[in-house]
Amino acid sequence: MSPINAIKLLSIVFPLLQGVQAGIDLNAGNNVAVYWGQNSYGQSTGEYVQQRLSYYCQNSNIDVFQISFLTRINGAGGVPEVNFANAGDNCTTFPGTSLLNCPQIAEDIQTCQKAGKTILLSIGGATYTEGGFTSESAAIAGAQLLWEMFGPVSNSSRSRPFGNAVIDGFDLDFEATVNNMPAFANQLRTLYAADSSKSYYLTAAPQCPYPDLANNPMLDGAVSFDAIWIQFYNNYCGLQSYVPGSSTQNNFNFATWDNWAKTSSRNKNVKVFLGIPGNTRAAGSGYQPLDRVKEIIGYVKGFSSFGGVMIWDASQVFANGGFLSGVKGAVGASVVEGTVSHGASENEGFLTLAKAEKPLGTGI
């Protein structure tokens, strides 16, 4: 089935899914989160090019999507800037700014949320160079700006890249030093608390060396995070350093982050996710074959802070047949084997009418 026909199918299937899938469950350790938006597999055409967000939301093996990235908070015209790789081709630009207006992504966010997916907007990324804010007051104003642009519709004068769609929270993915971010993050928390209509999440994606220098001012007890997606790749502490069969790990330091969750974190119930590359080309180092990843998941599931697995990114893992469903099975959830095909890509877990004789979203 083509991606276009698969999207059309959503309007039939998704009403059946409401109330069945629940998105992220921070009380469970079986969540899978996938970054979407950067097309990091790198194809501009062909079967593995990044598809629109709602295409991936058909897959029951994913609970959370981090839309990546918001690359500047104070860009041209005094508003943020975003970059969604080839997905930005379907966007226009707000006059006088470099900010994209993306009605297709807005539609897909609402479609995915109706299917029970949790949708976060990730701020930062490897190309983020803004450096945070010049003062705490500027940071608080920045949080207010993003809330008005991506949170509940309240200020009709604000340009909203996702229209009336309301995200489920923000993810902070800083890989260089940023200033005054605790004030920014805590203001987001204050704004979250003022809206009781839904749950909002605040997450971060530190690299695995501890402490993470870019994010430590926030992580060292200053900000209450719901979850952190530790990048166990591109560093000495990545998955490649895991020693099979050893109860004590030296360089692979999930235990260190578990201890952080219980001692230094402001939120002692924060969940720690195992962040992994979704394919051989997804990171400079750290990718491991599925069998080894399953073994590592078995090890980290022994820590009470474990919340699930984060994968970088959608384009990579969907070009790696069987990997996503294997990860989902390893974290302990039912895996749905579907019939929507997309070349030889990762199509396991797609929900289609051909599977309607079984309860949708509950596995086989």
Residue 84: beta bridge partners?
A: none
Query: Are the C-beta atoms of 172 and 143 separated by less than 8 Å?
Result: no
Q: What is the DSSP letter of 334?
A: -
Pull the structure tokens for residue 96.
Answer: 């006088």
User: Which of 81, 130, 148, 175 is labelled catalytic?
Assistant: 175
Report the amino acid identity of residue 119.
I
Query: Are the C-beta atoms of 70 and 106 separated by less than 8 Å?
Result: no
Q: How open is the CA angle 307-246-265, to the nearest 5 degrees?
A: 35
Q: Is 140 helix (H, G, I), strand (E, B) or coil?
A: helix
Query: Are the C-beta atoms of 126 and 170 separated by less than 8 Å?
Result: no
Q: Which residues, other chains included, contact 288 with Cβ-Cβ below 8 Å and sequence gap of 6+?
A: 239, 240, 242, 276, 296
Instruction: Kindly write down the DSSP assignment for every residue of 15-76, as one continuous string.
Output: HHHTTT-----TTSS-EEEEEESS-TT--SSSTTSPPPHHHHTTBTT--EEEEEEEEESS-G
> Cα–chain-centroid distance for residue 311?
8
Active site residue 175: yes
| Residues recognised as catalytic | 175
